Structure 1
Amino acid sequence: MPWSKPGGEEPPKPEGNDPSDGKRENGRGPWGSSGQGGSNNGKPWGGPGGGSPFGGSPFGGGPGKPPDLEAWVRKAQEKLSNLTSGDFSPRVLLLIGAAVCALWLASGFYTIDPNQIGLNLVFGRYVGKTLPGLNYNWPEPVGEVLKLDVTDRNSIDIGAIGRADEPGAIEVPEESLMLTGDENIADLKFRVIWQIDPAHPEFFAFNIKNQAETIKAVAESVMRDIVGHTQIQPLLTVARKVIEPEAQKAIQKVLDSYGAGVEILQVQLLSVDPPPTVIAAFRDVTAAQQDQSRFVNEAQGEANAIVPNARGEAARILNAAEAYRAQTVAEARGQTARYLKVFDEYQKAPAVTRERLYLETMERVLGGGDKIILDKDSATTSLLPLAPFATESKPAPGGNP
């Protein structure tokens, strides 16, 4: 017997719990018959009907009788007592253990979503990461799987509880009020957009605690440092587009030094204002600066319209003066050349040249006046007016002479 003691003695059987007591005599089976000549005809339910509810009922009722529920409950209790009493063979125990072990090992299968990466742990030690799909790791308590959403974008608003750019957000002055480089105070709210680094998700899981709070603290510290080196006026106007990428690079550098496994995607300045108590004065200053810029632009536009005209007029005057100079010089040179030619002719024939010069001069002097011709040799003075002839000889306007 598998349960025999070393001395060959059998362990005592529990009283009243073995349904086989008194039923295995003379080769009888547990159902009161060996299957040959027994009263049950080898049927387990004690009747010729076998499985019929009323002809050999399994609950102890005879043919044509209703089932006996009390007998069924009593038999179930006896079987349960046998199970709890440990009356198993080694083979049964081995099969039960193998089934339990197989179920335990099968529970180690798990799935990773497309936006996730799994981190496998064995006895709390990181052993590797798994990609999306069906994967396996030792089941608990030996193994554990951490699933991280590496492609999800997360945001942290600093300076307000909730989304600072939406109604209902609660302002946090302890976070938003910052000292500028010229010792003014600025009320600055900004947002940090980040995600887990897909290349090193294990850094995010194991290197730092309270990852969101760490990112928030680093971002606030970096922004205070940048604002502390910036003047208030540029901060309110033109420096915003410079601060955002600068803050992103600085935050990423600090987190990389921590090995945080975080990738900073963007830094957005939501609002940059002076403190509420002096915001009206700052707005007046900003308006005055805008007016100054407007006036400068208007003056520059007017100057751009006047200066080209003045330059054009100056160029015209210079060109006219240059033309007059060239004309005068050319005329002077022409007169000089004519005089030199006359002088050359005079040297060749002085009398003829004097006579010609006299006649040409008189022609030029007397050519435009009225003339009267007198004959000095005549005894009688005769008058010959030439004015009518001169008038008739003048060419008509626009016609031929």
Structure 2
Amino acid sequence: MTWDPKEPWGKKSDPLEAALKQAKTQFTDLIPSGGLKNLLPSGGVRNILIAGVLILLVWQSVFIVAPDEEGVVKRFGVPVRTADPGPHFKIPFVETVLQPKVEKLFRVEVGFRTTQQGRQQRVLQEALMLTGDMNILGIEFIVQYKIKEARDFLFNVADIDETIGKAAEASMREVVGKSKIDEALTTGKAVIQADTMTLLQTILDQYQSGVQIAAVQLQDVDPPEAVAAAFKDVTNAKEDREKVFARMQAEREQQAKQYRAEGAEEAQKIRSEAEKDLEIILAQA
């Protein structure tokens, strides 16, 4: 091995280290002799630039959460913490903030859609449902909800309105499928709304959607147009049957009253004759 005075152990120089030294030398040559200050304009322009940079840093470091909001701070796209209403700090250019309205009441339509002109258009695929006694109904309803957990609301479900709409439709179908058509059309609406709301909340909690269901409100419940005429005939037949039954019951009660009156009169007559016979027997005795 040939001895080199510059390399006392005969070790060759590291090529990576040599490349770094060369890059450092080239970068030093690019900087003026006066340093970075010479790159900035002199006088008032320099002060304006410095003030602008400071303002930008402050603007990127402070955020304010409104009273009806909840802040969710992201760092490189990953949620790291939440923030209550009021002023807060964040790392500039590294952290970003989302501020959903947690006090706002959101609305999802199921079975129909409201157009831009304010008209309601039925969506048959969602509206047509089968009752427990095998009748078809067209059901339109709305779901109102609020944000319960902002972080879950923003990051656990991709399309929250579509998810709520599908879950609400499935919940309503299950509840209506256990109900009779008369209940769905008349006195059972409140029960259907409450049961659907409970079932829907259970489904959304399983999804960890961060949503609180505020109300489920039936807007329109009626048979579809294709069977409306037949349904009307059935309804009229039921009403006629009920009228006939009521008339028969009234006549039966009237007849029963008449029989009771005649029986009471006959009993009174028998008692009178018995008392008269008793008086005769006592007189003879």
Taking a change above 3 Å as real, the CA distance of residues 151 and 83 of structure 1, as seen in their structure-2 partners, is: same
2:225 alignment partner, SS class: coil
Q: TM-score, normalised by structure 1?
A: 0.53
Aligned residue for 1:297?
246
Q: 2:70 aligned to 90, 111, 117, which one? A: 117
Aligned residue for 1:168?
119
1:277 alignment partner, SS class: helix
Q: How far off is 1:142 after superposition?
A: 2.6
Q: How far off is 1:147 after superposition?
A: 1.5
Q: 2:100 aligned to 136, 145, 148, which one? A: 148
Aligned counterparts of 1:228 and 1:188: Cα–Cα separation in 2: 12
One-letter identity of the residue aligned with 1:128: T
Deviates further, 259-268 or 137-146? 137-146
Q: 1:272 aligned to 201, 217, 221, which one? A: 221
Taking a change above 3 Å as real, the CA distance of residues 148 and 323 of structure 1, as seen in their structure-2 partners, is: farther
**Identity across the alignment (%):** 29
Q: How far off is 1:102 after superposition?
A: 7.0
Query: What value does the CA root-mean-square deviation take over the aligned residues?
Result: 3.5
Residue 152 of structure 2 contacts residue 210 of structure 2 at CA under 8 Å; is this kept in 1? yes
Aligned counterparts of 1:177 and 1:264: Cα–Cα separation in 2: 23
One-letter identity of the residue aligned with 1:158: V
Deviations 1:28-67 (A, max 9, x none): xxxxxxxxxxxxxxxxxxxxxxxxxxxxxxxxxxxxxxxx
1:120 alignment partner, SS class: strand
Aligned counterparts of 1:335 and 1:248: Cα–Cα separation in 2: 87
Residue 65 of structure 2 contacts residue 83 of structure 2 at CA under 8 Å; is this kept in 1? no
Aligned counterparts of 1:301 and 1:201: Cα–Cα separation in 2: 63
Higher strand residue share: 2
Q: How far off is 1:12 after superposition?
A: 6.3
Aligned residue for 2:28?
none
1:278 alignment partner, SS class: helix
Taking a change above 3 Å as real, the CA distance of residues 262 and 85 of structure 1, as seen in their structure-2 partners, is: closer
Q: How far off is 1:236 after superposition?
A: 4.1
Taking a change above 3 Å as real, the CA distance of residues 167 and 122 of structure 1, as seen in their structure-2 partners, is: closer
Question: Given the alignment of the two structures, is residue 130 of structure 1 paired with residue 130 of structure 2, yes or no?
Answer: no
Question: Given the alignment of the two structures, is residue 195 of structure 1 paired with residue 146 of structure 2, yes or no?
Answer: yes
Deviations 1:123-174 (A, max 9, x none): 433313303xx321305423222222222222211122217xx963232222
One-letter identity of the residue aligned with 2:124: P
Deviations 1:178-210 (A, max 9, x none): 33445443322222122222xx33322222121
Q: Map of 1:342-357 to 2, 5 A cutoff?
A: none
Task: Give the total of aligned pairs.
Answer: 248
Q: How far off is 1:300 after superposition?
A: 3.6
Taking a change above 3 Å as real, the CA distance of residues 192 and 106 of structure 1, as seen in their structure-2 partners, is: closer
Aligned residue for 1:396?
none
Q: How far off is 1:308 after superposition?
A: 4.0
Aligned counterparts of 2:110 and 2:72: Cα–Cα separation in 1: 31
Aligned residue for 1:257?
206
Gaps of at least 5 residues in structure 1 are 1-10, 14-81, 337-401
Aligned counterparts of 1:315 and 1:167: Cα–Cα separation in 2: 70
Aligned counterparts of 1:157 and 1:315: Cα–Cα separation in 2: 66
1:149 alignment partner, SS class: coil
Taking a change above 3 Å as real, the CA distance of residues 320 and 115 of structure 1, as seen in their structure-2 partners, is: farther
Q: How far off is 1:241 after superposition?
A: 3.4
Higher helix residue share: 2
Aligned counterparts of 1:290 and 1:116: Cα–Cα separation in 2: 54
Residue 107 of structure 2 contacts residue 144 of structure 2 at CA under 8 Å; is this kept in 1? yes
Q: Does 1 or 2 have the higher relative contact order (CA < 8 Å, sep 6+)?
A: 2
Deviates further, 153-162 or 172-181? 172-181
Taking a change above 3 Å as real, the CA distance of residues 240 and 333 of structure 1, as seen in their structure-2 partners, is: same
1:148 alignment partner, SS class: coil
Aligned counterparts of 1:159 and 1:320: Cα–Cα separation in 2: 72
Residue 150 of structure 1 contacts residue 195 of structure 1 at CA under 8 Å; is this kept in 2? yes
Q: 2:237 aligned to 268, 280, 288, which one? A: 288
Which protein shows a greater Rg? Answer: 1
Q: 1:331 aligned to 267, 280, 285, which one? A: 280
Residue 154 of structure 1 contacts residue 193 of structure 1 at CA under 8 Å; is this kept in 2? yes
Aligned counterparts of 2:37 and 2:194: Cα–Cα separation in 1: 72
One-letter identity of the residue aligned with 1:116: E
Question: Given the alignment of the two structures, is residue 215 of structure 1 paired with residue 215 of structure 2, yes or no?
Answer: no
Deviations 1:86-126 (A, max 9, x none): 598xxxx9xx8798457524543333333322233444333
Residue 161 of structure 1 contacts residue 170 of structure 1 at CA under 8 Å; is this kept in 2? yes
Residue 115 of structure 1 contacts residue 151 of structure 1 at CA under 8 Å; is this kept in 2? yes
One-letter identity of the residue aligned with 1:135: P
Q: 1:186 aligned to 131, 137, 145, which one? A: 137
Q: How far off is 1:285 after superposition?
A: 0.7
Q: How far off is 1:211 after superposition?
A: 0.7
